[in-house]
Chain A
Amino acid sequence: MDPGHGGQMTRAVWRPAFLMLAAALAAGCVRPTLYSWGQYEELIYRSYAAPGAVSPEMQIEKLEADYQKARSENKPVPPGFHAHLGFLYFQLGKLDQAQQQLETEKAQFPESAVFMDRLLSNLRKN
């Protein structure tokens, strides 16, 4: 058998196989996340695990930083992110910012409209 011919055969088989593997990796195995998660879940966990240890001010600061990072990556923040941020502003009595965040949640995810409208109508009642 001609070894040179065998080598070409091998290359001819391996190149498409390699490209398919690369495509498979790109398509599925390492699919990027839909959202930029930042510390959203971690902060909520910590606020439950050690109440008082993570103040609303500190959470707001970290989430606002996460939001800027998501924007710079051109990636959306996850469902609930803006609503949670609005809830934190509400706790500090910053009603304008709270309102703005709740409206942003509603604009990003229309599925939240019923709940956001309910929170918005309660916002200035207390």
Chain B
Amino acid sequence: MTGRGLARAIGWAATGMLAGGCVTAQPYDYTNYRLHPPRSIVVLPPLNQSTAVEATYGYLTTVTRPLAERGYYVFPIAVVDQFLKENGLPGAGEMHQVPVEKLAEILGADAVLYVTVEQYGTKYIVIDSVTTVAAHARLVDTRTGLLLWEGRRVFQQSSSAGQSNLVAMAISAAVSQVLNTSTDYAHRLSPQLNVLLFSQKDRGLLYGPYHPRYDQPPE
């Protein structure tokens, strides 16, 4: 590579890093959130825009922990899901149509988290594999219908991350394929997406009442 070519490549890499999030984004506007701070959150099964049918429950089953550790009461996801199904709502699409005041009445939830899984799964490109999980989440107050918070994040992991050696890459891709067929790798990466989505300074959820830092600005 010529000197100029190298410089250009570095320039593009730097631009990519800037676009990718190294520049601090503007803090989220928490006005509504602070006016209507929820104690409890019900997470409905997510809408699924990915091609993987298992995305809905593969992602849903990773959301309780980050929300609860943020200090909120989180309704039992499987019990809520079953309850809504038995009451004539067969899937996520129907559940997302329920008016928020109805969710307040039936469950007593202060807020509802509507999630759309936008990408979920693993792609194989020659000897590399890339797993992507992307989600859009909206937290809505059940008494007023106001949007309290929303976020959208993508998390991606390549089987060749951190490797420059072709043989190592080939082995890693093979191992990843084995892992991916026996387990749901996108499911296992979802907690890392959730850190980006829910727990980031100035963009994530505020602390809830069970957190020692409740009523303080997020870290």
Contact size range, B? 20 to 34
Q: Does B58 contact A (CB under 8 A)?
A: yes
Q: Does B40 contact A (CB under 8 A)?
A: yes
A6 to B83: give the CA distance in the assembly, Å.
71
Q: Does A15 contact B (CB under 8 A)?
A: no
Q: B79 to A111, Cβ gap below 8 A?
A: no
CB nearest to A42 among chain B residues: B61
Count A interface residues, CB 8 Å.
Answer: 28
Q: B71 to A115, Cβ gap below 8 A?
A: no
* Number of residue pairs A-B, CB distance < 8 angstroms: 89
Q: A80 to B61, Cβ gap below 8 A?
A: no
Q: Does A48 contact B (CB under 8 A)?
A: yes
CB nearest to A28 among chain B residues: B219
Interface residues of B (CB under 8 A from A): 39-40, 54, 57-58, 60-62, 64-65, 68-69, 71-80, 82-83, 106-110, 184, 187, 210-211, 219
The 5 closest A-B pairs by CB, nearest first: A114-B108, A80-B76, A48-B57, A111-B73, A45-B61
Q: List 7 A-B contacts (CB under 8 A).
A: A37-B65, A48-B57, A79-B74, A112-B75, A112-B108, A114-B106, A118-B107
